[in-house]
A and B are shown apart, each in its own frame.
Chain A
Amino acid sequence: MTVNKYNITHTNNAALESEERIKKIKKESGKPVIGYLCCFAPPEIISAAGAIPFRITGRAGEDNSAADAYVEPYGCTYVRNILARAVKGELEYLDGLVISHSCDMVQRLYGIWTYYHTLPYSYMFNVPHQLSRWAQDFFKRELGFFQESLENFTGKKITSEVLKGTLATYNHNRALVRDLYKLRKKPALAIEGSEMLNLLIKGGSLPPEDFTVLLEEKRKEIKRRAPKTEKARRIMVWGSIMDDPTLLLMIEEAGGQVVADDTCIGFRVWEKDVPVTENLYEGLTEHYFVNFQCPRTDRGPGVERFNYLLQRAREYNVDGVIGYCISFCDPHKFDYPDLRDYLKKEGLPLLLIDDNYSFEPKGSIKTRLQAFLEIL
């Protein structure tokens, strides 16, 4: 078997690289590429239908003005950035688009995008906010509609055997990712947070079996490495989507070590296996809906909803938390005061970085990071 047949390098330009590569993969495999945002619609089903799921990423800091002709200036800058990219024709390689109703912004992006630009395939995966029994039943039915729409598009029936096989491949990757995360629990750091995130960004843009190769290769390489032993403050990052490692690199530069995270693309997606249940939709619902820790889902009042986060902070022996909020990100911005107070009570300081998806001005972010790391 060719190891790393696409010659994936380990640069910090994961997203850029991913896009060039996916065009090549598409050409070689002849499979349609289906872009997605958010993790409620399982990419496993896209793979099982014979298509390639591709997690769309933005270009932090790039000009978003191309979106102005279609959407208002007030709105999540990450979403506006993606729309601007679509308008500029940078996402033309996508054969399909899947958007879940996670937050307001993404689901409305779906309407505008598909209105002005029809793709060969598009699907909005509707997701309740409640976790009631009937909301879970709705999610299961929605899985069925989603699967059916993909089958109609690719012309390939997804048998439960095929789906089971795909789940196994994805779960295998999850286990490999968890192994890498485990290494970060140790005081001597084997893999930096920025490197980990880059790896996961690449994972979102590769067919699962290729990601397996990449992860295995990484594991071998890490074994040969001498882990970093200098003492640094151990940080967890929490917040809005992070599809660019810039902030993590800045934290590292300022003398911190990002050892854990709770962001989309990060551990949230890999933390647990999809349970392989007799009715596969049961396990998918548990994983992608009930247990998926996105603050857009209502877990009722009370700070118990953050317990998983505290537990993670303890497991990774974290000294402080850095919150990252993209402008107009309602789900995270609303949680911030509750989370800050909860962590404070537990002796964990939280620094909030408000950003318009540009990581600018770098100077002042750096100063704040340094000051925070110093007090830890």
Chain B
Amino acid sequence: MNQSEMSRAKRHLDTTRKMKEMLPRFFMRQMERRFSSNEPLAWCMVGVPPELLKAFDLLFEWPENFGTMCASRLVAPHFIEVAEGDGYSPELCSYVTNTMGYCKLTKDKGEPPEESPLPGGMGTPSMLLGSGFICEPRWKWFQSIATRFFNVPVYSSDPLAPPWDIDPRDPRVEDHYLTLLREDLAGQIDFMEKQTGKKLDLDLLRETLALSHKALGYWRDTLALRKAVPCPMSSTDYFHSIIPQMYLVGDQEAVDFYKEMYEEVKDRVARKVGVTEEEKYRLIWFGLPPWFNMGIFNYLESKGAVVAYESTYNVGDFFEVDLSDPLEAIVRRTWQRAVKMHDYGAETMPELCNPAVFGGFSGSSLLNELVEEYSLNGALMHLTRSCRAVSFGEVHTKNRLAQLGIPSLIFESDMADPRLWSDAQIKNRLHAFLETMDKAAGGDKLNDS
């Protein structure tokens, strides 16, 4: 792999640029707390409602997000190779193999490897909070960590949603699923109470949810502003802006962040400031981004192509729920989102039921709306070899978009493993795709490059 091919992303918003100071501050706070006390530390998976962590005032890390950091610092291949040496197949989710390699090095050396992008690494977990909300690897990930590296208790939550051809509004079906969601959440809380020795503070959870939902509301509204032409906000801003909702959830700091972002984007819309000088193509992005090469979005922008909507880490339609019973609020939030996805056609992801604040997108009939509202004229689909869970359905979506006259390009690589990135080839394909879009539109806009 030629590392010089990979480029860091240029962000367009002042707000997201500011994260570069905000997040290290957060990580320092976490680390100080970790070193100055013997508090329990949970490693968590997306799918765990982050509000719960806050309500337990629990120290936490997100190995998935750690994977994205390792990817963007280009240390993931090192960790992944260690895991491969241990017998993990290169086909397996690179977030998982990245963690496995990291854990093995940590265990072998008795301390986190110095290549770790976080100061002091992720810390030694005292519990693992998993969530099987979207894929199989999640079920094996924490199981193996606790088997091989850290012998700590695991709770994996198990939210399920009705398959695409079952009516979620049938009261019996609704009851069937809601019963599971409620009991699973209760099981998760019971586990957390045992592990932390604390009782869940429902008032704090309610407050946290209120703040979290406030932040989500701003975020949803910000994303809707991207319907404007020219598009005021880029994918590099989008993908980085998910992070405060993971780490700073329930903090006023997060609300302020999303509010500021909303205002900045709104102002850009009013002033007609776009991401690119001349916006020739408006795209929708499917799949996880290549975290090691987020500069690819800037490359597209240099060709006049801007991504106005992303299918992953999507906050989706955000629902206000009654917070008087905060546990029921989490269940309802989860369920309402599942039903909404279902309404839009969940044939490619029948199991998607996500108690977290953001997640995947499914819904082939939502495409019509998106194309219209976001004035989209093309789609890019990142087929991540090691994450089939998120890229599954791209061919189907491509078929559906073709019916709407929207061309799409599926290109292959990975979210965390840069060894699967072939820079020249991918850029050629992207470039050729934009050219085809021109031809389809009857113009020839790319002859300058």
Contact = CB atoms under 8 A, between A and B. Distances in A.
Given A72-B388, A328-B388, A124 B87 contact: no
Nearest to A148: B172
Given A145-B176, A328-B91, A301 B143 contact: yes
Contacts of A338: 144, 147-148
Interface string B379-422: 00001010011011111100100000000001000000000000
Contacts of B91: 327-328, 333
Nearest to A149: B166
A141 interface: yes
B24 interface: no
A341 B187 CA distance: 31
Contacts of B136: 103-104, 296, 330-331, 334
Interface stretch (A125-133, A186-194, A236-244, A363-371): A125-133
Given A134-B179, A301-B147, A126 B162 contact: yes
B160 A128 contact: yes
Nearest to A103: B136
B132 interface: yes
A138 interface: yes
A112 B158 contact: no
B87 A71 contact: no
Nearest to A133: B183
A47 B25 CA distance: 63
Interface in B300-350: 346-350
B395 A111 contact: no
A354 B143 contact: no
B64 interface: no
B143 A300 contact: yes
B389 A137 contact: no
Interface string A283-314: 00000000000011010111100000000000
B296 interface: no
Nearest to B183: A134
Interface string A325-340: 1011011011111101
Interface string A347-371: 0000000100000000000000000
Contact of A114 (B146, B151, B165): B165
Contact of B158 (A128, A331, A334, A337): A128
Given A114-B347, A327-B91, A104 B392 contact: yes
A293 B96 CA distance: 23
A135 B158 contact: yes
A340 B87 contact: yes
Contacts of A134: 179-180, 183-184, 187
A110 interface: yes
Interface in A94-150: 101, 103-105, 107-108, 110-112, 114-115, 122, 124, 126, 128-130, 132-135, 137-138, 141-142, 145
A194 B163 CA distance: 37
Given A110-B350, A111-B347, A303-B147, A138 B89 contact: no
A68 interface: yes
B351 to A, nearest CB: 6
B247 to A, nearest CB: 26
7 contacts: A72-B383, A74-B383, A74-B388, A103-B136, A141-B179, A142-B176, A330-B92
Interface of A: 68-72, 74-75, 101, 103-105, 107-108, 110-112, 114-115, 122, 124, 126, 128-130, 132-135, 137-138, 141-142, 145, 295-296, 298, 300-303, 325, 327-328, 330-331, 333-338, 340-341, 354
* In the complex, the 9 A-B pairs of residues with the closest C-beta atoms, listed nearest first: A301-B146, A334-B140, A134-B183, A111-B347, A337-B87, A124-B163, A330-B136, A130-B158, A115-B347
Given A74-B388, A101-B350, A107-B350, 7 more contacts: A71-B395, A74-B391, A128-B158, A130-B184, A132-B187, A295-B140, A331-B139
